[in-house]
Amino acid sequence: MTEHSDQFLLKIRGLKTYFYTEDGVVKAVDGVDFNVNRGEILGLVGESGCGKSVTALSIMQLIRKPGKIVEGKISFGSVNLRELPLEDIQEIRGNRISMIFQQPQTSLNPVITVGDQLAEVFEIHADLNNEEMREKSVELLRTVGIADPEQKALAYPHEMSGGQAQRVMIAMGLAMRPELLIADEPTTALDVTIQAQILDLMRDLRNELGTAVILITHDLGVIAEMADWVAVMYAGQIVEQAGVVPLFDKPLHPYTRGLINSIPVLGETKHRLADIDGVVPNLVDLPKGCNFAPRCKARKKYGLSICEEINPDLKEIMPNHSVRCWLYQDAEDHKAPLKP
């Protein structure tokens, strides 16, 4: 297991979150391990439906029926979030860990003013009177770059643009100066120019407040720009984990390579964008061996048979760089064809 520091803020081990649907058990998160350091930005990257958001919601203990966290440990500081009673979780949510979402406009209550929704965080977690809450809310709106914050505090969400709404969500997330901010695709629904502003804002606030961030995205460009550390997720599992530079310099997992190859490069003309053959496996009926095996070209190239039999472990094969792949791991009757 990759350990890039000893002082973990968040340590997730063997997290499994399943959804019990009529079509069967959807293994949305199926054994995820990762760590988040204080003040660090961890990029969690993967295709839609790979379990990134469910991982985030699992940390927040916001999984609703028919979903359920079935296994694993989510250590935050000295406590296991899974074992805490709801009141203690509510004490942590929005206070020590907060979360912002993909659709900022639908994430705000349409019938409550932005200022009141912001002040609600203080009402729950801080001991302030109404006037102080109002002042702090306006101040926060100013911090996240909202022009005319006194007026905007009185506005309703539908009167704001997507970018403004996401700034409000960030303000709400950072109101209590949390130790961890989980940002679930915070810029996906926004224009590219607004995207850059929101990312800059998040990075500035991280630098200022020292908040650790789990940045969930499917956009490797965002990861390259923002993250210190990257975890690549595929079909409910982490398949590769490394610092951002080594990951882009020398991606090991065939899936990570595919992802990086599929980034369109500006100024380079291709007739067809590179993609990864095949589709994400059905999470109800996962393949027996490695989840990526059916789509893996490297497996065919090296003629590996073990991939369809046994799912490899996530293994640290270089310092601070781990990967879940038989290309680099030995086993009984199996010799790794590649050395990293």
Q: Does the protein bind another protein through residue 315 (CB under 8 A)?
A: no
**What is the residue type of 161?**
S
Q: Least distance in Å: CB of 242 to another protein?
A: 29
Stretch of 67-75, 83-91, 187-195, 248-256 lying at the interface with another protein (CB under 8 A): 83-91
Q: Are 164 and 152 in contact (CB under 8 A)?
A: yes
Q: Does the protein bind another protein through residue 60 (CB under 8 A)?
A: yes
Partners of 80 in beta bridges: 75
* Residues near 245 by beta carbon (within 8 Å), at least 6 away in sequence: none
* Residues near 267 by beta carbon (within 8 Å), at least 6 away in sequence: none
Map the footprint of another protein across residues 142-201, applying CB under 8 A. 156, 158, 169, 172
Stretch of 21-29, 87-95, 130-138, 242-250 lying at the interface with another protein (CB under 8 A): 87-95
Q: Does the protein bind another protein through residue 103 (CB under 8 A)?
A: yes
Going from the C-alpha of 161 to that of each of 137, 154, 309, the distances in angstroms are 19, 15, 50
State in Å, rounded, how far the first CA of the chain is from the last one: 16
* Of residues 124 and 196, the one with the C-beta less far from another protein: 124
Q: Residue from 16, 125, 134, 295 that binds another protein (CB under 8 A)? A: 125
At 229, is the secondary structure helix, strand, or coil? strand
Maximum Cα interatomic distance, the chain, rounded to a whole number of Å: 71
**What is the residue type of 295?**
R
The HSE-up count of residue 172 (CA atoms within 13 Å, CB side) is 29
- Reported in sequence order, the residue ranges of 56-201 that DSSP labels E, i.e. its strands, are 67-76, 79-80, 97-100, 180-184
Q: Least distance in Å: CB of 106 to another protein?
A: 4
DSSP 251: -
Q: Does the protein bind another protein through residue 126 (CB under 8 A)?
A: no
Q: Least distance in Å: CB of 57 to another protein?
A: 8
Stretch of 95-103, 140-148, 245-253, 278-286 lying at the interface with another protein (CB under 8 A): 95-103
Q: Residue from 107, 137, 164, 256 that binds another protein (CB under 8 A)? A: 107
Q: Residue from 25, 84, 124, 126 that binds another protein (CB under 8 A)? A: 124
* Of residues 97 and 293, the one with the C-beta less far from another protein: 97
Q: Does the protein bind another protein through residue 75 (CB under 8 A)?
A: no
- Reported in sequence order, the residue ranges of the chain that DSSP labels E, i.e. its strands, are 8-21, 24-37, 41-45, 67-76, 79-80, 97-100, 180-184, 212-217, 229-234, 237-243, 315-318, 321-323
* Of residues 158 and 300, the one with the C-beta less far from another protein: 158
Q: Does the protein bind another protein through residue 99 (CB under 8 A)?
A: yes
Q: Least distance in Å: CB of 173 to another protein?
A: 8
Q: Does the protein bind another protein through residue 90 (CB under 8 A)?
A: yes
Q: Does the protein bind another protein through residue 98 (CB under 8 A)?
A: yes
Going from the C-alpha of 116 to that of each of 112, 126, 137, 138, the distances in angstroms are 7, 14, 8, 10
* Of residues 154 and 284, the one with the C-beta less far from another protein: 154
Q: Does the protein bind another protein through residue 110 (CB under 8 A)?
A: yes
How many residues make contact with another protein (CB under 8 A)? 29
Q: How is residue 56 written in tokens?
A: 């985030």
Q: Which residues bind another protein (CB under 8 A)?
A: 60, 62, 86-87, 90-95, 98-99, 101, 103, 106-112, 120-121, 124-125, 156, 158, 169, 172
